[in-house]
Structure 1
Amino acid sequence: MSNSPIRIGTRDSKLAMWQAHTVARLLRIAGFQTEIVAVKSKGDLDTSKPLHELGTTGIFTKVLDDALEDNTVDIAVHSLKDYPTQPPAGIVLSAHLEREDPMDLLIPSGDTSWTDDVDSAVTIGTGSIRRKAQWLHRYPKHTTENLRGNVQTRLKKLEENDWSGIIMASAGLRRMEAVPENAIALDWMIPAPAQGVIGITHRDGDEAALAACQKLNIETAEITSTVERAFLRTLEGGCSAPIGSLARISGDQIFFTGCLHSLDGTKEVKIERNAALSEWRELGSRWANEVIELGGSEILKELK
């Protein structure tokens, strides 16, 4: 085994650093030496605009792809939900870590009686067009406000604004040990594809990095997130379409829920399916094509 440490590329937010240190710990357990290299992304530097206004997908990830291409890091650690479904040429997605809770949480600012009343007039903070569209589909009279920034910043913004609540991923809050006591699980909201999964990429052809990554890959996380991301890729999603998908494995079956919404939440195509686990490689695109046939094509035309 090589004596030189594996250089782990990461964004420098608190959550990203937590993820990188987790990967470093797992690699050390597997017998590798490690070194963490932190970089800043365009998405971290500009937190005022909604994500879909900052350009293409990969807003948080391109800087790490560049670091791999420049050979300043050997592997890069990502929140897989932020990573493009098609890695750039020369970069391989080679490991999926154990999935944290994939669901979204509502963090209310106070009284929550309004959650049972679809006609209530309240304001909710979220920077995600997927969350916004699903929320407005359920609560058409609500208003949403843009919410960006790291875990701590978002919780602070809830205190500073006259909002009834904000929506956040359970995974990030759990990893930061920052789940508020009053958090409500949104069991009806379909998460982002691969939400809760940490993904690791490396340069194509770097056999040492590949060998290290393969030691960390969790097959169930790989299968479920690959199905979800294939669904997204076939619908031509990325950051620009309100698409949710969640796959779960039970025995020799995969159970799947997927949805596509119009930006304002008025239109929805949602499917629930299951199939043999052995077919997992083609399921995501198959189910996305069903959504397209069930009316998704019209929604996608509008989004473009």
Structure 2
Amino acid sequence: MKKTIRIGTRDSELALWQANTVKSKLENLGYTTELVPVKSTGDLVLDKPLYEMGITGIFTKTLDVAMIKGKVDIAVHSMKDVPTQLPYGIVQTAVLERASSDDILVTTTKIDFEKPCTIATGSLRRQAQWLNRYPHHKVVDIRGNVNTRLQKLKDSDWQGAIFAKAGLERLGFANGDAIKSPSFTGAGEALHWMLPAPAQGAMVVVALENDKFCTEATSKLNDIRAQICTHIEREFLRTLEGGCTAPIGAFAEIIGDEVLFKGCLFSLNGKNKLEIEKTVKITNYQEFGKKCALHILNNGGTELMAQIKKQINK
């Protein structure tokens, strides 16, 4: 009997795009699939910053439970939303070819960065890096799916808001420097200087470890270059013990037979910055992210992480 692979996904427009991409790829390989949309806590609670909600994997937990209860067979996530420690019995089976990892500043008018500005982002990482570069600016929290955040920017007196470029491109909202959705028109500027969240721009598929049919099927979608780079970035994050609650950036890139890695840890106000840039042979990529994180921890990072946790847990 041929099994239908039930694909669990959040029901936001972007999450459905990602799930449909996996659905199409599996069906092109001859598998039968169906989508099972599920709302997550992160989608339902929009009036609190993520770090204040104190839940690991806020966008993935509901799908994890659905999988363990047998309601879905696999789940598709934006990899940056996935905790570095997966629940017992659930395994990563594929990292798809990575899209852009850049952050992008979306604006409705031209900005004079020398003057005071208000920039919206719900990410501590983006907030800290922005304040490090523009200490005279103000950052405010913003939540919701892509369409909701674009609408909030349109209705506000903010000068701009920061998004993941990959999300805007996947929804067809980004075309060069132009940003256009059904209800929003503005401009976008890629922030090449800002280190992304670990695994930003990557999509991951997870399945139950003991489900041989689904693990074998989805493993055929794996992109080895994306897998290596995101492994290093997430290992860096896991060793720093950042999760969603610290301003941590990480990006790995394969160049020839080497991997170039850049990582950073900031204080919440952006004033203190610890960073590292190193290369390693691809064949030695295992434990590389951990080694880079230990360098940060041994050079002021342990104290800075303790300070961040104390401030967040007040």
Return the TM-score normalized by structure 1. Answer: 0.97
1:139-288 matches, cutoff 5 A: 139-179=134-174, 180=179, 182-288=187-293
Alpha-carbon RMSD: 0.9
- The whole-number CA distance in structure 1 between the counterparts of 2:302 and 2:265 is 10
Matched residue SS, 1:113: coil
- Residue in structure 2 matched with residue 9 of structure 1 by the alignment: 8
Q: Deviations over 1:263-282 (max 9, x none)?
A: 11111001111111111111
- Residue in structure 1 matched with residue 80 of structure 2 by the alignment: 81
> Any conservation in 2 of the 1:126–1:145 contact (CA below 8 Å)?
yes
- The whole-number CA distance in structure 2 between the counterparts of 1:236 and 1:52 is 14
Matched residue SS, 1:140: coil
Equivalent residue letter for 1:53: E
Unaligned runs of 5+ in 2: 180-185, 310-314
Q: Provide the identity percentage.
A: 49
For residue 236 of structure 1, report the CA deviation from its aligned partner: 0.2
> Any conservation in 2 of the 1:191–1:245 contact (CA below 8 Å)?
yes
For residue 59 of structure 1, report the CA deviation from its aligned partner: 0.3
For residue 102 of structure 1, report the CA deviation from its aligned partner: 0.5
Counterpart selection for 1:293 from 295, 298, 311:
298
Q: Deviations over 1:18-67 (max 9, x none)?
A: 00000000000111000100101000001111110111220000001001
- Residue in structure 2 matched with residue 45 of structure 1 by the alignment: 44
- Residue in structure 2 matched with residue 60 of structure 1 by the alignment: 59
> Any conservation in 2 of the 1:126–1:147 contact (CA below 8 Å)?
yes
- The whole-number CA distance in structure 1 between the counterparts of 2:307 and 2:129 is 17
For residue 141 of structure 1, report the CA deviation from its aligned partner: 1.3
Equivalent residue letter for 1:159: K
Q: Deviations over 1:151-171 (max 9, x none)?
A: 111111111110010000001
Q: Deviations over 1:71-129 (max 9, x none)?
A: 11110001000000010111101110010100100012212232xx2xx2110000000
- The whole-number CA distance in structure 1 between the counterparts of 2:56 and 2:100 is 24
Give the number of equivalent residue pairs: 299
Unaligned runs of 5+ in 1: none
- The whole-number CA distance in structure 1 between the counterparts of 2:144 and 2:55 is 18
- Residue in structure 2 matched with residue 109 of structure 1 by the alignment: 108
Equivalent residue letter for 2:55: T
- The whole-number CA distance in structure 1 between the counterparts of 2:268 and 2:123 is 11
Equivalent residue letter for 2:95: H
Matched residue SS, 1:64: helix
- The whole-number CA distance in structure 2 between the counterparts of 1:112 and 1:80 is 32
Return the TM-score normalized by structure 2. Answer: 0.94
- The whole-number CA distance in structure 1 between the counterparts of 2:97 and 2:53 is 30
Matched residue SS, 1:216: coil
- The whole-number CA distance in structure 1 between the counterparts of 2:143 and 2:42 is 10
> Any conservation in 2 of the 1:61–1:83 contact (CA below 8 Å)?
yes
> Any conservation in 2 of the 1:126–1:166 contact (CA below 8 Å)?
yes
Equivalent residue letter for 1:230: E
